[in-house]
Structure 1
Amino acid sequence: MTKEQFSELVSQYERLVYTVCFQLVRDASAAEDLTQETFLSAWLHRGSLPQGYERQWLGRIAANKAKDHLQSAWSRHSVLPGDGAMPPGLAPPAEEIALQKTGAASIAAEIEALKEPYRPVCRLCLLEEKSPEEAALALGRPVKTVHTQLSRGKRLLRERLERSGGYGTVSR
């Protein structure tokens, strides 16, 4: 393949290669760099280019370059004890973690303060993270009843937490 033919290949598939890279890395500057790396690799390995399959060949090289970039970015971050192996940009701030723990404690206290029949249903579904079906089986109640009691229990919890200024939200 001559330089002119390769230049035509670059101009024909440059947007495709950039799009593949951007779709995977979600960063414009990284996608531009990966596009250049893709075409550099393609030039260095132009002897293995299958005729008629240029588009697929370049797309595969671009995808592999982007995947390599993502893996190396993951392995470059340092993991500290207790950060749950989350990349630095995705780990929640310490204040948020403290608020979540405080919120969880206040929600647990409010669940324990609920009256029957809501307390056991909310305890199982919200604290122990059981499904309504599992809670119904454990409590010997119909599933529809548990769904209704869970819905009403959540509403009561929400009202109590809003009145007390408690943290967190009740979901699930």
Structure 2
Amino acid sequence: MMADDPSRAKFLALALPLLPKQHRMAMAMTGNRSRADDLVQDTYLRALKYFRSYQGEDFAAWMAAIMRNLHRDQIHTTLPMDDDDDLSALPDPAPSPEQMILHADRNRHLHDLIAALPEGLREVLVMREFGDLSYAQIAQVLSLPVGTVMSRLSRAREYLRKAWLNIDDESLI
């Protein structure tokens, strides 16, 4: 695309407001700040490259589909990073070191629980809770009926609730 190309301006107008949501979704998918940054960058580069093929449908869903596909392609070639790069290592404004450790431990547990979900449940949960996509948008991205999206999201939330309560019970022992 040329610098004065009107489609570039349209792309920027549509894509830039989505950047925070895209980054949250990438963090949830990867659990790692560096990989999330790379995934967002790759998503925006791919979207810009193929923007001419965009049909005018829901842009947020189109971008989420690109991110999902890139993540799926990259997941098999990415080596695990150290725990220091994990989602749980993000800085927390907690007032005391004890609270910071507790918060990081809970984030790590939650990340592990989300990662343990079956892929179909995990994708729906990440797109809804971290990508802030509607049921209809998720259904569009995953080529599923809206009812299936709702069912999977409900099952994912219920699994997380039960698993979280089990972790809390074990930590009291």
Q: Which has the larger radius of gyration?
A: 1
TM-score, structure 1 normalization: 0.41
Structure ranking higher on relative contact order (CA contacts 8 Å, 6+ apart): 2
